[in-house]
Amino acid sequence: MHIPGLKRAAVGVATMSAALLIGVVPGTASAASGPVSGADPSQCGVAGNVCVWEGAFTDRWALYEDLGTECVTAPFGMLATVNMTDRRVDFYPNGDCTGTPAHSEPSLGLHSWKSVGSLYSFRVS
């Protein structure tokens, strides 16, 4: 789902609020060292952050802050993301950012890709 303009940020915040209501289980999740530990789902709506989910905005999740362009291997197979960076994020089928990107999420985008299947790494472009 891609919503133009500022509406995307509002949808991201609404999605995070819904995740809190349905009881999303926090991940153990920073960019260089891995996900932010003890994160709150509301942080997924903060500019510069990327959140990923094991399910379609359900199950385990992880928050990443201060991402550079290095490859990030997720602690689980990902099926959804919220990209609050000002750059595109490319998701890969392998754990080392190799293979053709199976999904690219634009800046301020949120998306679930159940039809693609789990992806295991990502890189901010």
pLDDT digits (tens, 9 = 90+) for 84-122: 999 999 999 999 999 988 899 999 999 999 999 999 999
Residue 62 has pLDDT above 60, yes or no: yes
117's torsion region: left (phi>0), alpha (psi -120 to 50) or beta?
left
pLDDT of 16 strictly over 60: no
Torsion angle (degrees, nearest 10) of CA 40, 1, 56, 68 = -50
In the structure, what pLDDT confidence band is assigned to residue 33 with cuts at 50, 70 and 90? Answer: low
52: confidence class by pLDDT, cuts 50, 70, 90: very high
The domain limits of the chain are: 7-124
Please give the C-alpha separations between residue 69 and each of 33, 36, 97, in angstroms, as whole numbers.
14, 17, 11
Taking the C-alpha atoms of residue 94 and residue 102, their distance in angstroms, rounded to an integer, is: 10
CATH architecture of the domain covering 7-124: Sandwich (2.60)
Full-model pTM: 0.74
